Copies of this chain bind each other. A is one copy, B any other.
Amino acid sequence: MSARQRDRLKIPFKNCRGGICAPQGFLAAAERAGLKKAGLDLAIIFSDAPASAAACFTLNQCAAAPVQLCRRHLKEGSGKARAILINSGCANAGTGLQGVRDARSTVNAVAQTLNIPLTSVLVCSTGVIGLRLQAQRIIAALPACARRLSRKEGARAARAILTTDTVLKVESLAFKMGGRAVRIGGIAKGAGMIHPDLATMLAFITTDASIAPARLQEHLNWCVERSFNCITVDGDTSTNDTVIALANGASGIDVGKDTGMGRHGDTGTLTASPRRRVTASSATNLQKDLSLYFSASPRRRVTASAYPELFRAALLEICQRLARKIAWDGEGSTHHLEIEVTGAKSFRQARNVGRSIGRSNLVKTAIYGHDPNWGRVLSAVGASGERIVQSRIRLSVNQRVVAEQGVLKNIADSVFDPIWRKKRIHIAVDLGLGEHRAVCWSCDLSHEYVDINASYRT
């Protein structure tokens, strides 16, 4: 959602500085351990106080060692955590029990260095699969890293977790509740092996809101479904996908009260509002509903009963921004794809159709080559595995209708020349079957993608 759209919708979020260190009580640090050929490759995110922790991990059945260890610590630590250790340069995946032992030795060192319980340390790795983790290098770099811990190190930590990424992925938002500021910050990495399944790449989100681990997990699951699980770069689900959210309560604002949010169910819509109207934008239904909720009286102080909804909307906004940054930083990409599917029977149907388009090598190469071969989009809709009705499909590209009732229009190629000059290509598909929608993000497939991945290890 652009700042303009947000203003128009009057959702009371404000961008703020600081990334993961924007919320009170969170510190970060980064160091070079020597796992990558050059540059920072080690980061710590630290919470002054025990924070509620929620996480989503890859559904890849060959989950990496750090993923296995994180799962165990979250369980044994009753959903509370203090620190996250992250390294780039080595995924510590396909490394068996030795990999788990290596990960544990680094986590142990973090617990001792920071004087916190072992199970309050989470760990994530990203990089080459199958290499043994050089745990000693990490352990040797830890004291220097710990000494750097401060609120000003958020950007360096965001840099330390990158691999083939070309841009930093940092976001932070502030909003008022009961006259107090609550903040959410997040960083992420990812540019290849991006086709998250129920969770994704690496993303770390911090907030000073107060919320129980179980509620935070509910919110995170809901938001991940609508953000990281809506992106694809190459259709390859990673072994290390992880999203972790920490909430330390430092703002003193409790956003965990139950206000019947279960009603929204899987569809992302609030219970019917007479004023609800579907408009074309990349905001989610929830955001639109919220906007109507808040726009009724934009200056009114948010009442406590709306805290959970506002918090979830802000969490979703952070997740979607980070997810979009990952998709649009896709390896070798030259165009950003936004795929909006409307008229679906369910959110899931809409998303599956969107991801099928975003995953199609043929759609992606056509866009790279500025070839208005929209038939490939139609084919990808049909190949999504979802039951659709061909004769109801309406397809448009940057507001230009290219197919109606499932029939492609005969449009001169030159009509699309202005579209190719834009970085962002917006593909809208209306399935004509229902009222649900989803937005997915992807990128084109270029020679550079082949270059990058034909020699990733070397």
Contacts and interface: CB of A to CB of B under 8 A. Distances in A.
What's the number of copies of this chain in the assembled complex? 2
A369 interface: yes
Interface string A107-142: 000000000000000000000111110000000000
A192 interface: yes
Contacts of A366: 453-454, 456
A387 to B, nearest CB: 7
B371 A239 contact: no
A308 B18 CA distance: 72
Interface stretch (A38-46, A252-260, A321-329, A403-411): A403-411
A163 interface: no
A236 interface: yes
Interface residues of A, number: 75
B381 A62 contact: yes
A81 interface: no
A456 B379 CA distance: 15
Contacts of A193: 362, 376, 379
Given A93-B379, A378-B94, A457 B360 contact: no
Contacts of A376: 129, 193, 236
A219 to B, nearest CB: 26
B91 A375 contact: yes
Contact of A60 (B197, B382, B407): B382
A214 interface: no
Contacts of A372: 457
Interface in A306-341: none
A229 to B, nearest CB: 14
A292 to B, nearest CB: 35
Contacts of A98: 407
A361 interface: yes
A390 B62 contact: yes
A143 B380 CA distance: 37
A93 B362 contact: no
B382 A456 contact: no
Contacts of A383: 59-62, 195, 197, 236-237
Nearest to A411: B130
Given A239-B382, A407-B96, A450-B447, A61 B387 contact: yes
A153 interface: no
Contacts of A375: 91, 93-94, 128-131, 239
A458 interface: yes
A374 B93 CA distance: 11
Contacts of A24: none
A193 B195 CA distance: 20
A457 B386 contact: no
A385 B340 CA distance: 25
Contact of A62 (B60, B393, B449): B393
Contact of A453 (B361, B388, B449, B458): B361
A129 B378 contact: yes
A111 B355 CA distance: 43
Contacts of A62: 378-379, 381-383, 388, 390, 393, 406
Contacts of A59: 383
A234 interface: yes
Q: Which of A366, A372, A447, A454 has the most CB of B within 10 A?
A: A454
A450 B450 contact: yes
A236 B195 CA distance: 15
A233 to B, nearest CB: 9
A270 interface: no
A34 interface: no
Given A365-B449, A369-B453, 8 more contacts: A61-B389, A62-B381, A62-B393, A193-B362, A197-B383, A237-B379, A365-B453, A365-B454
16 contacts: A60-B382, A61-B383, A61-B389, A62-B390, A93-B375, A96-B405, A99-B407, A128-B375, A193-B379, A235-B359, A237-B379, A361-B445, A365-B454, A366-B456, A371-B455, A371-B458
